Amino acid sequence: MTAQGSEPRQPERPLTIVVTGGNTGIGAAIVAAFARAGGNVAMDFVSNRDANAAIVADAADAGGRVVPVDADITAQAGLERIRDAALEAFGRIDVWVNNAGLETRHSLLETSEADFDRVIAVDLKATFFGTQVAARQFLAQGGPGVVVNVSSVHEDWPMPGNTTYCVAKGGVRMLTRTAGVELGGHGIRVVNVAPGAVDTPINTATMADPDQRARLTDAIPLHAVATPEQIADVVVFAASPQAAYMTATTIVVDGGIMQGSVGL
């Protein structure tokens, strides 16, 4: 991270960042990016726990620290558990990234109640209460803070066949706007980063099918899906002092897919 565009910024103390879903996909890239900036990171893990040791070691090599926490983010108590682990390890929290997300790719007509509950719990409920836990902690610290939500272009853009995901991300869009307005007076910023198509496990099926992959790539004006690192860089920016005047809004990082058209 740089101040005024050129000089390396040397923070007086390392920042502490919580990243949900930090051991896979975009989350792992976010953890690595903050670690490279010298940050202290606490991340939950539910699955993919075999990845933790390498993430911790890579972060240490890059000059950061990562504490993995066994916590269920779909329960408020699980989010408080990550908060407590971060406080125990690092003493305070500066940035909270609600990144964890999943999709089940079902249309309205196909969606089961269990599917709906799962997607809403991970994508919307965990983001809502993660924002609440973070904001309460920032207030308790008497200082500012930043919440970055990893939403999706589908916070605003219908994706037929992925209905609950769109509903959840639409909720995250409105959560960010409302919470940003409510918390602005406390110096707390809330910003969404909305990726388009990214090469992560959520898109494994699409990326593995050459036809689907070609169709997706053709629909993107920049003719490539994003790397997780390209999204992580924007998350780090949204959390940084360079984005100090941004709140209650969304930064779209989609290679132009939402504006694109296959044309005539």
What residues act catalytically? 165
3-state helix, strand, coil in the chain (%, to 5): 50, 15, 35
Nearer to ligand BGC, 62 or 258 (CB): 258
The full DSSP string for 116-156 is HHHHIIIIIIHHHHHHHHHHHHHHHHTS-EEEEEE--GGGT
Residue 188 in contact with residue 144, Cβ under 8 Å? Answer: yes
Does position 203 interact with ligand BGC (CB under 6 A)? The reply is yes
Q: What's the rounded Cα separation, in Å, for the pair 243 and 39?
A: 17
Nearer to ligand BGC, 87 or 121 (CB): 121
**Smallest distance, ligand BGC to C-beta of residue 235, A:** 15
- Given candidates 44, 103, 123, 199, which one binds ligand BGC under the rule CB under 6 A? 103
Give the per-residue contact string, 26-55, with ligand BGC (x = CB under 6 A; - = no).
------------------------------
Helix axes 52-62, 25-36, angle to 10 degrees: 30
Nearer to ligand BGC, 65 or 154 (CB): 154
Does position 123 interact with ligand BGC (CB under 6 A)? The reply is no
Sheet containing 145-150: give its strands across.
Answer: 65-70, 40-45, 16-19, 95-98, 145-150, 188-195, 249-253
- Smallest CA-to-CA distance from 191 within 98, 122, 264, 109 is with 98
Element (H, E) at 188: strand 188-195
**Smallest distance, ligand BGC to C-beta of residue 152, A:** 3
Residue 3: which region, alpha, beta or left (left: phi > 0; alpha: psi -120 to 50)?
A: beta
Residue 17 in contact with residue 34, Cβ under 8 Å? Answer: yes
Nearer to ligand BGC, 200 or 247 (CB): 200
Does position 154 interact with ligand BGC (CB under 6 A)? The reply is yes
Does position 122 interact with ligand BGC (CB under 6 A)? The reply is no
- Given candidates 119, 168, 202, 253, which one binds ligand BGC under the rule CB under 6 A? 202
Does position 197 interact with ligand BGC (CB under 6 A)? The reply is yes
State the residue number with the nearest CB to ligand BGC: 152
**Smallest distance, ligand BGC to C-beta of residue 169, A:** 7
Does position 231 interact with ligand BGC (CB under 6 A)? The reply is no
- Binding residues for ligand BGC (CB under 6 A): 103, 152-154, 159, 196-197, 202-203
